[in-house]
Amino acid sequence: MKVLHLGKLCPPNEGGIELFTFDLLENLNKKGVKADLLCFGEDTKIDMYKGFRYFSCKIILKLNSAPLSYDYFRVFRSIEKNYDIIHIHTPNPLAEFLGLISQKPIIVHWHSDIVRQKISYKFYKPFQQKLLKKSQKIIATSPQYLETSLQLQNHKEKAVVIPLGLNPSRLEDKVSDEKFEKIRSEIQDKKIVLSVGRLVEYKGFSYLIEAAKFLGDDVLVLIIGGGPLYNSLKNKIEELGLERKVFLLGRVENISPFLKICDLFCLPSIERNEAFGLSLVEAMYFGKPLITTDVKGSGMSYVNRHNETGLVVPPKNPEALAEAINKILYDKDLYNRFSENAKSRFKEFDINSIADKIINLYQEVLKC
């Protein structure tokens, strides 16, 4: 069986969707599926990464965050005939257009709706809906997202739910991080609340910073990630006088040391752009209780089960975030129960089991 995945960024980029895709391709190849990746990069070339082959295509420009490349089109047309199935990771307008002209069975992996680009979506929608209609199967990453997606509402009969997953060895096979070593002296015997993600509005980090006002002096909040809101969040920390309590660490090469030493993991997102939250799965691997927000349609509440692996609180509510953090940190029995449940639930997101489900889907599609 040969499958061509149409994705966005090439290795070693480490966005959530990319990390999942790379882990999946590595595992599929180990299981005997010849799975390759067509992706966007700085140059046009063919290379290998962790056991799978990828076709890198030079980006010409980005339109509303969507990469465009003539080589992406050209390379696809030259290699399409070599594969049994085309597996498209969306949103990715150019890949979706190629799916429309492909003669191969199509699987659409639905990572997120088009949310912010409302004007351009009006022009893009007809192509998107034609692809969904043409596809043999659609993979949604959570029941919540599938049920609330207006863009999928006419195609639910061909949709299946397969969550994102990760390879635990990716978290273990890492050396310590330079930024971790620099902040080690600040940590000492403090309780650590960790949050990870791009510093953009929908991640809700400003509410987590405000929540720190209501936390004890023995609690530190660490926020990992880069993005356009870095300076404004830094200013907010200074305005609130929280410089010794909230640390904005920027991008780090390796989050594993932080995941290992933190006491709980918080994802305070406020919009449905947070379709799943793969960082929650990473935290569960280390047995960390979770705090997420109740954003309608987001897969966060699928990953983090309220009162089982952690707590779910209303979005945009610093007091509720702080109350949940305090409740978990200072109730040893509750903490231990959430921790053990998180470790147990991680097994459902191990990339090995996720790959098996996707291989079963491939086999079903080829039988049709």
| Residue 211, domain CATH | 3.40.50.2000
One domain for residues 162 and 264: no
Q: What token pair was written down for 8?
A: 């966005």
* Helices then strands, each counted (H, E), the chain: 15, 16
pLDDT in tens, 249-258: 999 888 888 9
Distances (CA, A) of 280 to 7, 64, 258, 269: 22, 28, 13, 12
Structure confidence at residue 24 (pLDDT)? 98
The pairing of strands 52-58 and 45-49 is antiparallel
One domain for residues 173 and 288: yes
Tell me how far apart the alpha carbons of residues 138 and 88 are, in angstroms, rounded to a whole number: 10
One domain for residues 242 and 312: yes
Structure confidence at residue 175 (pLDDT)? 57
Please check the confidence at residue 172 and state whether its pLDDT lies above 90.
Answer: no
Structure confidence at residue 65 (pLDDT)? 75
Structure confidence at residue 173 (pLDDT)? 60
Structure confidence at residue 177 (pLDDT)? 64
Tell me how far apart the alpha carbons of residues 220 and 245 are, in angstroms, rounded to a whole number: 5
Mean pLDDT to the nearest integer, 91-116: 92
One domain for residues 214 and 178: yes
pLDDT tier at 205, thresholds 50, 70, 90: very high
Its pTM stands at 0.91
One domain for residues 157 and 9: yes
One domain for residues 179 and 320: yes
One domain for residues 337 and 228: yes
Structure confidence at residue 259 (pLDDT)? 94
Please check the confidence at residue 81 and state whether its pLDDT lies above 60.
Answer: yes
One domain for residues 231 and 123: no
What phi and psi values does residue 308 have, to the nearest 5 degrees? Answer: -120, -55
Tell me how far apart the alpha carbons of residues 85 and 26 are, in angstroms, rounded to a whole number: 17
Please check the confidence at residue 281 and state whether its pLDDT lies above 70.
Answer: yes
17-26, 39-48, 113-122, 237-246: which has the minimum mean pLDDT?
Answer: 113-122
Mean pLDDT to the nearest integer, 30-52: 97
Q: Name the average pLDDT for the chain.
A: 93
pLDDT in tens, 312-353: 999 999 999 999 999 999 999 999 999 999 999 999 999 999
Please check the confidence at residue 180 and state whether its pLDDT lies above 90.
Answer: no
Tell me how far apart the alpha carbons of residues 347 and 168 are, in angstroms, rounded to a whole number: 10
Please check the confidence at residue 368 and state whether its pLDDT lies above 80.
Answer: no
Counting the structural domains of the chain, the total is 2
One domain for residues 258 and 272: yes
Please check the confidence at residue 184 and state whether its pLDDT lies above 80.
Answer: no
102-116, 191-205, 219-233: which has the minimum mean pLDDT?
Answer: 102-116
One domain for residues 325 and 206: yes
One domain for residues 306 and 189: yes
Long-range contacts formed by 9-14: CB under 8 A, 24+ apart: 9/39, 9/40, 9/41, 9/67, 10/37, 10/39, 10/40, 10/41, 10/54, 10/56, 11/47, 11/49, 11/50, 11/54, 12/49
- 117 or 203: which carries more pLDDT confidence? 203
Helices (H), 143-245: 143-148, 168-172, 178-187, 205-211, 230-239
One domain for residues 55 and 152: yes
Domain span including residue 112: 2-167+350-367
